[in-house]
Structure 1
Amino acid sequence: MTALDPAAPIFQPFAADWQPLAPAARRVGAGVAAFWGLLVGIAATVPVAVALDVGLAAKLGLGLVALVLPAVVFATWARTRWRRTHWRLDDGGLRVRRGVIWHKEILVPRSRVQHLDLERGPIERHFGLATLVVHTAGTRMHALRQSGFLDDDAVALRDALLPETDRHDDSL
């Protein structure tokens, strides 16, 4: 794969710069958010339209605005979250920086990694994406779940985050 190939993984081990999520993750996130926005719009519109004592044209106009507006807002929010999420792998471990209003930087040191999962739902598989779940020492709530990685990048990150002692557990 060449550097200009859009399907080429962007993973660079121990990269000094923050890496963006895959461009396909923006489309997936915006599409899923728009779908949820439509559902919210339907849930809000139906009771209001039934309760209003106005003509059919007014109900249709209100319904159109109430359906489209949440979908656009949710999709815009998802695109902004995608644009504001970056990651890097360095000597300290995996770092993820994300947040639109509340900014958060998460560091998962390699020494705290218990196990790693890769999740690929049907939409993610279609777009060549994966979600990396890094479980750390502690309760089940101690995990970093980050979606939006290219599948090859997620596999490479999983392999790079394995503690040295766990790399050859199956060779007894």
Structure 2
Amino acid sequence: MNDPLSAPAPLADDGWQSLPPAARRVAGITGAIAGLVVGTLVAVPVAVAVDAGLALKLALGAVLWLALPVLALAWARVRWRRTSWRLDERGLQVRRGVFWRKEVLVPRSRVQHLDLERGPIERHFGLATLVVHTAGTRMHALRQSGFFDADAVALRDALLPEADRHDDSL
């Protein structure tokens, strides 16, 4: 049985790949959780500050508390749809952004080290976040979530500097 969440991302003619459908689901879940937290932090003070009866305060608080997770979920899915990546001889490229499109190229020669992160929700869906640290200050890194775990491992291995691939000594 083919699971649409585990289907490989389609490969475009120019090499750009979309993130898998499972990444959309993870983005939606994490967006909704963040929306619930922010909704709670916003709904309570706004409902308390409104000069109205208790029923209107509760209704306003409930609308805010429920609307923010829904908006966050929708926004996460739009961001997922607008993210793609490709690996070529130059390095890893990532395109993302909804209003302001951003394209990042991490040349293989600039890669310092790579990390894989797998949170509990990502692990459940077989996903990982690839963190590519580049030459420069400690804040220079590309963090891209939503890769299948196997793809993230393959990307990590492919981006390793050539000198590090054959280094058997510590």
TM-score, normalized by the shorter chain, greater than 0.5: yes
Distance 1:11 1:49 in 2: 46
The answer to which structure, 1 or 2, has the higher relative contact order (CA under 8 A, 6+ apart) is 1
How many aligned residue pairs are there? 168
Distance 2:44 2:152 in 1: 42
Find the counterpart in structure 1 of residue 126 from structure 2: 128
* SS in structure 2 of the partner of residue 154 of structure 1: helix
Amino acid across the alignment from 2:39: G
Find the counterpart in structure 2 of residue 55 from structure 1: 53
Distance 2:107 2:71 in 1: 36
RMSD: 2.2
Query: For each residue in 1:117-161, what CA deviation from the matched residue of structure 2 results, as whole angstroms up to 9, or x when unmatched?
Result: 111111111110000011111111111110010101101111111
Would you say the 8 A contact 1:16–1:90 is kept in 2?
Answer: no
Query: For each residue in 1:19-57, what CA deviation from the matched residue of structure 2 results, as whole angstroms up to 9, or x when unmatched?
Result: 011211111111111121122221122123223343333
Which one of the candidate residues 91, 107, 118 is aligned to 2:89? 91
- The structural deviation recorded for 1:10 is 4.3
Structure 1, gaps ≥5 residues long: none
* SS in structure 2 of the partner of residue 63 of structure 1: helix
Amino acid across the alignment from 2:121: I
Which one of the candidate residues 135, 138, 148 is aligned to 1:140? 138
Question: Normalising by the residue count of structure 2, what TM-score does the alignment of the two structures yield?
Answer: 0.89
Find the counterpart in structure 2 of residue 115 from structure 1: 113
Structure 2, gaps ≥5 residues long: none
Distance 1:138 1:35 in 2: 34
Q: Does 2:132 correspond to 1:158? A: no
Distance 1:51 1:86 in 2: 43
